[in-house]
Each structure stands twice: as C-alpha cells, then as structure tokens.
C-alpha cells in the first residue's frame, strides 16, 4: 500500500533561482499587494481551467460535498505559533525586535482588517477554497521558470525482472495505467482516506487527458473528455506518435501494445527529427512565444498539438540504459530535455534496459494521487496482477499516427536555443541518491518513533553536522481533508530540534539524554505537522493576509521584517512519498543556496534524493548525504544504548 504522509516540496513562488527572479519577484509582489487583480480570461470549453464546483459523480467523489472548507486561523492562533517557529532561527536581539513587530501587528487595526477581509473571502458563496486561485497562480501557473527541473517531480520504479524488454515492460505498465484510468473515468475508484477521514478528490480531474498550456503571465490547465480521447501519445527519438488503445471497442492487449510500440521504435530510430519537445523545457514566457511560433508554422500544427494535448498520457521510450541510481534518477527527473513534453500531466518513461519511472507536472496534482497511481501500476505489474489480455495480435490494427510537425527554420532555431538553455540549467545541478539500508520503517517504529519525524530529525542533524547551524526547513503537509485543499508548510526547525542537534553533537551527552532530546524533537515535529493538516500552519495564513493587502496600502512591518524573509527562505525543502515499489523519487531545490530532499521510507531502507545547484554557495550533496547517513546511524545507536541502559538499571525480578 502506498504511503504519502507529506505531499511535495515547497512553493515555487519565492524561488530566487537565476536571472529571471527579479521579474518573478515583481510579478509576485504585484499579486501579493493587489487582491483585486483580474485573472486571465478563461480558455475555450475544450480547455478548461480548474473547476471550483463538485459536479463529478461516483464513489471517487462521494464525499466532496461533505468536505469542510479550508479554515482561516485566527490571528491569536497564527501569530504566537509563528513566533515559536522563528525564535530558534534568530539571535536574542533580533527575536526581541520580531516579537515587538508581531505584537504590534496583532493589536493593530490593519491586522484586524486584513483578517476580516480574508475571512470574508473564505465565506463567499460558491468559493470552494479561499487559497486555491491565489496558490495555483502564484506557485504554479504564474511561475515562469522552467517546470523541469524546478517544478515537476518524478518516481523511480523498481525493476520488473520478468520484463527486461522495454516495449514489453511499457505495454504492461500502459495496461495497468489504463485500468486505473478506467476507475477514475467511471468514478469507481475509492476516495483516499486518512484513517476514517476522506480526502479531496478534485486533483483526479487533472490526472489523465490533461496538459499545462503556456500563456503569457500565467499558464492554464487544459483537460479533455476521457471517453472521447482513448489514445496515448508516444515519443521516441524526439518524434511524437498517437497510439489508439481501443480497437473495435476493445482495449489493446499487452502483446498488441508492445507490437505497436515496436513499430514506433523501428520507424523513429530510422530517421531524425527536430526535437520540438525541448521547447517545453524553456522559461514559460519564452515557451509561450515559441508555442505560437510552432502552432502557426503550418495549418496542421495546431491540430497536431491538440492530438498531443488530448492524449491520456505520454509514454517516453528513451534510448538510454541508466545503471546507477544517480543515472536513472536524472533520466526520470529531466532526461535530455528532448524526448519529452514537459507540460503533460503524466509522462511514463521506459528506458532501453527496462528501467522505468513517472514524471508528473506539479501544477494541478500534488504527490498523493500520483503516488497512489504509481503504487497501483507497480503492484499490478510486479506481482502478476495485471490483466495483459490476449497473447495474440489482431489483424487490422491501426498504424500508430506519426505527428509530422512542420518545422521551418525559425522553429529549428528556437529548439536549438531552448535546448542550449536546458542543458545549461541541468549542468548547474548536482545530485546524490543515498540508499541507506541499515534500517527502515520497521526499526524506527520499534524504537518508538514516527518514521517521518525520525527522518526529518536525521536531515536536521545531518545539516547541522555539515554547517554547524539550523536553517529554515520546509516539509509539505497535506491539507486535502478540506475541499480543494493542497498543502501547508510544516516548519521542521524548532527549539526542540535545535536542542536535539546540540545534544547529539556534544560528546559529553549521555545516551539517555540524547534519546530524550530526540523524543522531544520528534514529538514537537509531529504536533506541528498535525496542526498543519488541520489548516493551522502559519505560512498559508500569512500569505493570505499579504494577498488581501491593497496596492495603495502600507505594507505591514511583519512582512518586511528580515525574520519573516529568513524564515521563508527554505534552505532545506523536503518531502516524503513512500512505496515499497519505489527506488526513490525527487525534485529540485527551491533556493540557490539550498537543498531539495525527497525521501522514501521503505520497510527496511531509507532513500534520499538530494539535489542542489553548483554555484557560488559551495553546496555539496555528497557531504550532506554522508552526514545524514551518519546522523541516522547515531540516532539509532543512541536509542538502543539508552534502552539497554534503562533495562540494565531496572532488571526484571
């Protein structure tokens, strides 16, 4: 069974990644200070942005109308909690100044007015979620840096030892994905539950037959009817094909799919093509320009783009054979930037040696639905559950449709320039995949800890060992118990986490004291995570207060306070998504002097994908991986030693 206690990485809204940040910051500031801003006009009926109602039917959506709305916490809840999160990061003097600023805001007429406006927005009839439109535009659709490597996330799948042949493995995975899609289409898929609490199913509307579409200022999500678009897109050697999966009313068998894929491989490998997919790797405004260039290059191009957009998902058949963890993580994270269409909601990737993974576009889907999908198709294919259909190939199967885009010289130049920019961005990134096999979830639970809290503290201690300090850390926590809920920021640094780091780095600390410090830190982390899942974190509330401020109003000092800026500068952006079928998953850092750490907690292992930029800040993913491993080992040893000491001092009679 899949597990996704925390969703995904931090918001892309405040990413100072490279030269485009000044433009992004200006746009973000405009949005944050003008709550009356008009959003871009809605696209046509065939390209709908996110619906705000609960019209879908079936078991999958049976609880939608019962879900509570995302609450607006009171100032008396958020501001004291905010102070507790920033105090560990500040000097005594700086904290005293921040405390004064926060208390003044709490007592001010402006603070009360901003709170009133936010509560009024949340109470508006027909509004599903007070944060939704702001969050989707500011963090995703309005974000202009490339979606890969900065926004999308991926899963690396375990090998299928029965299917080393790439088209055979791809065919089995496609059959399993189609079965999952059928449950989504019919609504028969059971809704996700957190114990007995149903989670919002809204994001499933954007899983299949969906794509992000570039547009100046802010992109939009295009969705297509599942029943009318029973084809997938396939890309091989930079060439795109459409493969219908239903013939004479019956889905193609795995043998038939593999046969069709073999035809695609044979044709694509015998010719070269302009890699138009690399255009999707670019800055979003640049891609918008080139999208128009491509669509208008010939009358047929616009129709071909629609065929690609309307596909259930994209299957990428890569002519590479990655071996090491870093190699296949890079393939699934970004690849070569050519054999992709990064705007598609789902890209299933299969390499020539049978390695496979999934790349998900983050704008409309956080991690739990795609984690569930991935766990399902792997359980089906690795455990012999998938229905492969007949072993024979029917006559009269339609030839896969080659999407022959017209690529005049201007389009060729655009792909060359986009490719060069993509290569530069990828080359600026370093990656280390830590496969820690000393223990996993079972041992952590045996020691009496929440696995997620334990791993979060291992990351804290590892960073402290490397740098001698703690910095603002983001862990994504799910708020999907609320209608159209997505995430809240779980701030991992606390007084208790810093005391824990100090205790473990002091050689004079006894094992029992280390264990007590670890227990206190894990408990504090768990308490904050639970508050976040109830919509009681601080970051989304404070963001909402910023966004209801009008352009002609004075900015409250709380938002210009260096402590606020520092506490939102995520030196560590972390998240957990776990399945026994994964060989890890990953994403990028969110600030140039920070790390992105995606981790998987398996029964007997921990897997960390650690990414960072190669720049003037001198970050080192190998060193951080070393210290996280050391921290995890020391934490386990301290817990075992303390328990042995306790047992020795209290022998059974």
Catalytic positions are 362
Query: How many separate helices (H) and strands (E) can be counted in the chain?
Result: 21, 20
DSSP label at residue 583: E
Opening angle at CA 337, ends 335 and 343, nearest 5: 105
Q: Is the peptide bond before 149 cis (omega within 30 degrees of 0)?
A: yes
For 304-317, give the DSSP string.
HHHHHHTSS-EEEE
CA–CA separation, 609 vs 611, rounded Å?
Answer: 7
- Kindly state the helix (H) or strand (E) to which residue 624 belongs, with its residue range: helix 621-649
Give every CB contact of residue 572 below 8 A, 6+ residues apart in sequence.
459, 463, 471, 472, 473, 474, 492, 594, 595, 597
Minimal CA–CA distance to 282: which of 90, 395, 146?
A: 146
Q: Which residues pair with 402 in a beta bridge?
A: 241
Which stretches within 440-510 are classed as H helix? Answer: 441-446, 451-467, 495-505
Q: Please give the structure tokens belonging to residue 516.
A: 């007590």
Q: CB 259: neighbour CB atoms within 10 A?
A: 16
Kindly report the CA angle at 529 between 527 and 531, in degrees rounded to 5?
70
Alpha-helical (H) ranges within 239-309 are 254-269, 284-295, 299-309
d(CA 258, CA 384): 17
What three-state secondary structure class fits 238?
coil
Task: Give the C-alpha separation, 164 to 475, whole Å.
Answer: 36
Asked whether the CA dihedral 468, 149, 564, 450 is positive or negative, the reply is: negative
How many Å apart are CA 632 and CA 244, to the nearest integer?
49
| Nearest-angstrom CA–CA distance, 296 and 410 | 11
How many Å apart are CA 572 and CA 566, to the nearest integer? 12
């Amino acid at each position: 069974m899949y597990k996704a206690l925390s969703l995904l990485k931090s918001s892309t809204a405040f990413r100072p990644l490279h030269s485009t940040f000044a433009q992004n910051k200006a746009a973000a500031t405009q949005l944050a200070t003008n709550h009356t801003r008009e959003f871009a006009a809605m696209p046509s009926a065939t390209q709908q942005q996110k619906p705000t109602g609960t019209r879908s039917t079936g078991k999958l959506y049976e609880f939608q109308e019962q879900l509570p709305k995302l609450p607006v916490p009171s100032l008396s809840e958020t501001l004291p909690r905010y102070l507790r999160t920033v105090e560990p990061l500040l000097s005594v003097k700086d904290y005293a100044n921040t405390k004064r600023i926060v208390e003044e805001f709490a007592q001010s007429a402006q603070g009360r007015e901003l709170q009133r406006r936010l509560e009024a927005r949340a109470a508006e009839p027909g509004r599903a979620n007070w944060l939704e439109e702001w969050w989707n535009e500011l963090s995703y659709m309005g974000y202009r840096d490339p979606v890969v490597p900065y926004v999308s996330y991926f899963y690396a799948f375990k090998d299928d030892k029965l299917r080393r042949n790439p088209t055979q493995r791809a065919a089995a995975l496609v059959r399993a994905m189609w079965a999952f899609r059928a449950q989504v289409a019919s609504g028969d898929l059971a809704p996700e539950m957190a114990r007995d609490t149903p989670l919002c199913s809204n994001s499933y509307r954007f899983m299949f037959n969906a794509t992000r579409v570039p547009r100046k200022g802010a992109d939009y999500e295009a969705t297509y009817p599942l029943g009318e678009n029973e084809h997938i897109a396939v890309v091989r050697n930079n060439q795109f094909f459409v493969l219908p999966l239903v013939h004479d009313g019956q889905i193609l068998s795995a043998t038939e799919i593999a046969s069709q894929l073999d035809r695609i491989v044979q044709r694509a490998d015998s010719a070269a093509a302009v890699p138009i997919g690399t255009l999707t790797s670019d800055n979003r405004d640049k891609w918008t320009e080139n999208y128009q260039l491509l669509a208008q290059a010939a009358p047929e191009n616009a129709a071909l783009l629609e065929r690609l957009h309307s596909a259930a998902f994209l299957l990428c058949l890569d002519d590479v054979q990655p071996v090491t963890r870093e190699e296949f993580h890079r393939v699934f994270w970004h690849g070569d930037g050519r054999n992709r269409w990064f705007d598609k909601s789902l890209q299933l990737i299969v390499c020539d040696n049978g390695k496979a993974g999934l790349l998900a576009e983050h704008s409309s889907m956080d991690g739990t639905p795609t984690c569930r999908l991935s766990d399902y198709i792997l359980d089906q294919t690795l455990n012999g559950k998938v229905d492969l259909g007949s072993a024979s190939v029917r006559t009269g199967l339609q030839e896969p449709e080659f999407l022959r885009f017209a690529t005049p010289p201007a389009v060729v130049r655009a792909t060359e320039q986009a490719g060069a920019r993509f290569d530069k961005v990828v080359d600026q990134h370093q990656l280390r995949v830590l496969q820690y096999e000393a223990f996993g979830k079972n041992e952590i639970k045996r020691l009496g800890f929440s696995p997620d809290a334990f791993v979060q503290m291992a990351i804290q201690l590892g960073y402290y060992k490397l740098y001698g300090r703690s910095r603002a850390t983001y862990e994504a926590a799910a708020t999907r118990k609320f209608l159209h809920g997505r995430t809240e920021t779980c701030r991992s640094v606390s007084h208790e986490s810093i005391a824990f780091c100090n205790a473990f780095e002091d050689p004079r600390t006894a094992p029992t004291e280390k264990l007590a410090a670890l227990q206190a830190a894990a408990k504090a982390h768990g308490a904050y995570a639970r508050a976040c899942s109830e919509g009681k974190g601080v970051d989304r509330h404070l963001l909402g207060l910023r966004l209801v401020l009008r352009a002609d109003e004075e900015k409250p000092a709380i938002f210009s306070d260096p402590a606020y800026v520092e506490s939102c500068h995520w030196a560590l952006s972390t998240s957990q998504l776990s399945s026994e079928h994964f060989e890890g998953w990953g994403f990028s850092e969110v600030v140039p002097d920070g790390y992105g750490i995606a981790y998987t907690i398996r029964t007997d292992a921990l897997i960390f994908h650690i990414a960072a930029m190669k720049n003037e800040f001198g970050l080192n993913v190998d060193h951080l991986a070393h210290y996280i491993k050391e921290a995890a080992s020391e934490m386990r040893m301290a817990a075992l030693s303390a328990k042995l000491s306790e047992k020795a001092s209290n022998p059974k009679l």
